[in-house]
Amino acid sequence: MTQTIGVEVGPGAISPAALSDIEKFEKMLDRYLKGEVDEDRFRIFRLNNGIYGQRQGGHNQMVRIKAPYGSLQPDQLEMLAHVAEKYSRGWGHITTRQNIQFHFVQLEQVPEMLRDLAGVGLTTREACGDTVRNIVGCHLAGACPFEVLDISPWAEAAFRHFLRNPYAQRLPRKFKINFSGCVTDCGQAMFNDVGVVAVTRPGGDGTAEPGFRVFFAGGLGANPHPAQALEDFTSRQDLMPTLEAVLRTFDHYGNRDNKLRARMKWLVDTMGLDELRERILKERKLLLASVTWVDGLPDYVKEHGDEPAGVSTGSAPTPMGWGTDVVFRRNDPYGRWEDANVVRGNAKGTVSAYAYARLGDVTAEQFRALAAMQRELGLELRVTNRQNVVFRGLTEEQLPALHQRLDAIGMAEPGAELSRDVVSCPGADTCNLAVTQSRGLADDIGQALEAAGLAEVGGVRINISGCTNSCGQHHIADIGFVGIERRAHGRPAPGYHMLLGGHLGHTQVEFGHKALRLPAKAASAATVRVVGQFAAERNPGETFTQWLERSGGPSAVAQSLKDLDVFPLPDENPDFYVDFHETGPWVSEVGVGECAGS
């Protein structure tokens, strides 16, 4: 059975709420095509239903499908394969917020596609627009050896609470919620509107009470802000009213006149941190007094429990989180995959294993194969915020068979926490706001690292965004790139700002520092130099951040790369004036943004 919000349905059935959404979309689309609904009104409606215009114009649409905390079932994976083949280009893209995106869907086909998705409990509702976006959670929640609580049921409860919630429809701007089960923060709580991290506090009887630390008003984009702590400890009973109190405060006081200053992070600047915190806590106090608020734990949490996975005494926990190094103990393909992509330490006696999705892309054939593996081996599956896939609940005996099947579909390469695992937004391939072909650069960096023998350096993360909106999360990477326009010899050319030293963990975040500007076609050479220098000079156990500081910081490393910031004359090397995956001279073609951010 596939579970949708508020009702249990079988394959092919559609919940009443989803059916109502689809029927309304059909009516609005019909009226729009007849000219009875103006462009602005239909655009807002379309975005709130997860349908986003592409830079190609016309009726080409990107459709964003929510996978709350990354969880997907076999029938849903098979439906994604069907969608890829019938409506899109034969493949889908995993985003940094655990959505699945399909491009070049024709607007007239959207209602039929929504019906197909709803039949397996998938929704696009509020995946875009000024709404509560997909609820993100640590992809190993419930299988992590370090977690304080399993945040999976909490993320599901939050997803159910805010989906179609009247307060979540016409916010001043988009609103993002992330969950992490421990301070390792694999769920990336520290740069979102609300970030929830499971923690403990000492009890009066000498025990430790599990609960949460809630952070608020973080964000990336052109002006990144770190999330701020609301209070030292939030009890499990108070978490859901706390989430709604933050949302209501944003709805009351967010800037509705200027989209560029509308995110919650700007309230810290205009209102002040202490005042904003006080208003949130006051909102929560009044919310708890309301006769309409149901107090206590959410039903889903009470039903499914949130006990942590625990740590096995039979094996040491696999290191996780930012700066994780990967030690290869074997040279055979299976051994190298196991060394890099398998996580152990779960007291339940199971292990987890990553399937590597290069550039976050998954073909229809791969979707079907992943579904078959999940179903036949009896596993859980989640997509990750680094655009990969992780299987959970494996036995040791199942690992060789899983590797063999992943190898057959091209997803068995060691990738997790290795330099080859480059994260990128879709970029100018489809996005209206992108300046550069970020996917093309990610592909080029991967090839350059492979050629230099540096693709399997551990403990260094590389992220790329095609514009300042940071959908590729370049601010929080060890090595980050953001697309910019350059001019050289009187000609426009694609370029990037290189950032160094971004990282997060232990309820802290450090945004990368701008190091230097580069031609797009020199960014891969710069990456190879930095990764190579790090690999050659690092001390045992030293993180990229520690090495960078010891090496003089971003400015010192940037100085060693200045010779790469050179544009040859157009006649000498015209390739510098053509972006990746393009055939003609580069021009900056930035369209009107609709709902920046993945």
CATH number of domain containing 100: 3.90.480.20
| 372 is a domain residue | no
Q: Based on the domain organization, do 35 and 112 belong to the same domain?
A: yes
Is residue 587 domain-resident? no
Examine the domain organization and report whether 60 and 188 are in the same domain: no
Cα-flanking dihedrals φ and ψ of residue 69, to 5°? 45, 25
Q: Is residue 447 part of a domain?
A: yes
Same-domain pairing of 451 and 506: yes
Q: Alpha carbon of 124 to those of 62, 102, 287, 402: distances in Å?
A: 11, 11, 29, 31
160 and 81, same domain (yes or no): no
Tokens of 112: 């039929």
Interhelix angle 399-408/333-341, nearest 10 degrees: 110
The answer to whether residue 472 is domain-embedded is: yes
Q: How many CB atoms lie within 10 A of CB 83?
A: 22
Report the largest interatomic distance among the alpha carbons of the chain, rounded to a whole angstrom: 77
Q: What pLDDT does 595 receive?
A: 55
**Same-domain check for residues 157 and 45:** no
Per-residue pLDDT of the chain (598 residues; tens, 9 = 90+): 333 333 333 457 899 999 999 999 999 999 999 999 999 999 999 999 999 999 888 899 999 999 999 999 999 999 999 999 999 999 999 999 999 999 999 999 999 999 999 999 999 999 999 999 999 999 999 999 899 999 999 999 999 999 999 989 999 999 999 999 999 999 999 999 999 999 999 987 889 999 999 999 999 999 999 999 999 999 999 999 999 999 999 999 999 999 999 999 999 999 999 999 999 999 999 998 888 888 899 999 999 999 999 888 777 889 889 988 998 999 999 999 999 999 998 888 889 999 999 999 999 999 999 999 999 999 999 999 999 999 999 999 999 999 999 999 999 999 888 999 999 999 988 898 899 999 999 999 999 999 999 999 999 999 999 999 999 999 999 999 999 999 999 999 999 999 999 999 999 999 999 999 999 999 999 999 999 999 999 999 999 999 999 999 999 999 999 999 999 999 999 999 999 988 888 887 766 666 544 4
Chosen domain end from 269, 304, 339 = 304
Residues 59, 38: Cα–Cα separation, whole Å? 15
3-state secondary structure of 549: helix
63 and 202 both lie in a single domain: no
Considering the domain architecture, whether residues 165 and 253 belong to the same structural domain is answered as yes
**Neighbouring residues of 227: CB distance < 8 A, sequence distance ≥ 6:** 189, 190, 191, 192, 194, 195, 215, 216, 217, 218, 509
Last residue of a domain, one of 263, 281, 304: 304
- pLDDT at position 102, please? 98
**Contact present, 215 and 230 (Cβ < 8 Å):** yes
Asked if residue 238 and residue 110 are part of one domain, the reply reads no
Q: What is the DSSP string of 75-133?
A: HHHHHHHHHHHHHSSSEEEE-TTSEEEEEEEEGGGHHHHHHHHHTTT---TTSSSSSB-
Q: DSSP code of 219?
A: B
pLDDT the model gives residue 591: 60
**559 part of a folded domain:** yes
Residue 185 lies in a domain: yes
Residue-level pLDDT at 594: 66
The answer to whether the CB of 506 falls within 8 A of the CB of 183 is yes
Does residue 237 lie within any of the structural domains? yes
Q: Could you tell me the residue range of the domain that residue 454 belongs to?
A: 423-577
- Provide the CATH number for the domain around residue 515: 3.30.413.10
**Does 166 lie in the same domain as 95?**
no
Residues 444 and 560 in one domain: yes
Model pLDDT, residue 593: 60
Structural domains in the chain (count)? 3
Domain end (from 102, 118, 134): 118
Distance (Å, rounded) from C-alpha 562 to C-alpha 532?
A: 17
Same domain, 113 and 154: no
Strands 177-180 and 194-202: parallel
Is there a single domain that holds both residue 434 and residue 540?
yes
Note whether residue 141 is domain-resident: no
User: Is this model's pTM higher than 0.75 or not?
Assistant: yes
